[in-house]
Amino acid sequence: MAEEINPAPRLLMGPGPINADPRVLRAMSAQLLGQFDPQFRAYMRETMELYRGVFQTGNRWTLVIDGTARAGIEAALASVIEPGDRVLVPVFGRFGHLKVEIAKRCGGDVRAIETEWGTVFGSEALAAAMREHRPRVVAISHGDTSTTMAQPLADLGRLCRDHDALLYVDATATLGGMDLPVDAWQLDLVSAGLQKCLAGPSGSAPLTLNERAESRILRRRHIEAGLKRPGEKDGEGPIIRSNYFDLAMVIDYWSDKALNHHTEATTMLYAARECARIVLAEGLPHAFARHAAASQALCAGLAAMGLKLFGDQRHKMPNVTGVHVPAGVDGEKVRGALLDHFNIEIGTSFGPLHGKIWRIGTMGYNARKDAVLTTLAALEAVLAAQRHKLARGAAVDAALAAYGAT
Ligand SMILES: Cc1ncc(COP(=O)(O)O)c(C=O)c1O
């Protein structure tokens, strides 16, 4: 007989997932409702309105996809990429490669451009790629947790409009932790997940799309035979190749038509609604400043231990920090000791960075002074045990000073 689930009280300081805000966990313990119950439909409408606030948009179609963050990516790309469409993907980390792979599965003629991990694209490189490839769709990450870098996006929307391309942005790592004004930056489709700066569990992907994206999606609208009313016509565009991630059907389901699609993951909707409610109650500028403060304090503490930060620091995300594993130190042993002795999880890394850097998250519910100080104190003890030379106590002092608390 398996025992009751009773997880260790970990402090999750990796690149996500992080510890959920207790209010989100409480919302998730609420009883289920049917998805067409008037009370549940009101929760859905409230969720749409709350995420309009989080995405800083007036977009009518602002909703959540049931599934992890990549469900949002897949729904966006499957719904706007028609077979043969040219798709430009600027890759600055692992999650750029993910969008290349998904766009190919959607039948796109994918053109990837790459920059070294730890850097981002300059505006001239993006403009040159647009001129060269003339894409119909551009898909890019805002922040890539694999490299901890954030791509400046303020001008890309206008550039895409000048080339009549749709711009999709993967904001999984940044939504709620960094400014991302969807309307002001002219982003056509944006999706995210809950498990990073939004302080929830993974399993729900908030997504917003504007009228430019909507018109491209609705011309591909095909209603399932079992739901079609007499005389109802399909769109003239090619059918979206995924049923589950067909945004035309998902829109019909979220609209007042309430056309049946999937059975709603009601518990995840409660979670998504609570995540948005919490971040808006805090205020977006305050949430961004809290992430920035945690990042500055963590970086000050790491520097005080003699550790070197990874990547172009001008473009580092405030919610994840890459730090080089120092010479002579076994990175995996350090992670193991943090977990065994302190119940603290930090991240390893992928691809070319595997084994070379740790990734430490300060995001969502864990972008807090006590979480940063505890992590630094524990890391210091573990590194000292590995004979890494450091001044004991300096890391916590430096972090406290960064918080202005000395
Ligand atoms: C930028 C980015 N995109 C996509 C994903 C994939 O998210 P999920 O694992 O929730 O599908 C992640 C996860 O770390 C991410 O950081």
Average pLDDT over the chain, rounded to an integer: 97
> If you measure from the C-alpha of residue 141 to the centroid of ligand 1, how many angstroms do you get, rounded to a whole number?
10
Q: Is the CB of 193 under 6 A from ligand 1?
A: yes
Residue 230 has pLDDT above 90, yes or no: no
Q: Is the CB of 375 under 6 A from ligand 1?
A: no
**Top mutation candidate among 70, 74, 190 for ligand 1, by most atoms within 8 Å of CB:** 70
Minimum-distance ligand 1 atom for the alpha carbon of 143: 1
The predicted-structure confidence for 139-186, as pLDDT tens digits, reads as follows 999 999 999 999 999 999 999 999 999 999 999 999 999 999 999 999
Residue 405 has pLDDT above 90, yes or no: no
Mean predicted confidence (pLDDT) in 82-101: 98
> If you measure from the C-alpha of residue 73 to the centroid of ligand 1, how many angstroms do you get, rounded to a whole number?
9
The predicted-structure confidence for 345-377, as pLDDT tens digits, reads as follows 999 998 889 989 999 999 999 999 999 999 999
Q: Is the CB of 319 under 6 A from ligand 1?
A: no
Which residues have CB under 8 Å from 354's CB, separation 6+?
Answer: 348
> If you measure from the C-alpha of residue 319 to the centroid of ligand 1, how many angstroms do you get, rounded to a whole number?
14
Residue 23 has pLDDT above 80, yes or no: yes
Q: What's the half-sphere exposure (Cβ side, CA atoms, 13 Å) at 346?
A: 30
Q: Are 148 and 359 in contact (CB under 8 A)?
A: yes
pLDDT at 406: 61
Residue 232 has pLDDT above 90, yes or no: no
The predicted-structure confidence for 388-402, as pLDDT tens digits, reads as follows 999 999 999 999 999
Q: Is the CB of 146 under 6 A from ligand 1?
A: no
pLDDT at 189: 98
pLDDT at 104: 98
The predicted-structure confidence for 266-312, as pLDDT tens digits, reads as follows 999 999 999 999 999 999 999 999 999 999 999 999 999 999 999 99
> If you measure from the C-alpha of residue 120 to the centroid of ligand 1, how many angstroms do you get, rounded to a whole number?
18
- Identify whether 17 is preceded by a cis peptide bond (ω within 30 of 0): yes
Q: What's the half-sphere exposure (Cβ side, CA atoms, 13 Å) at 227?
A: 14
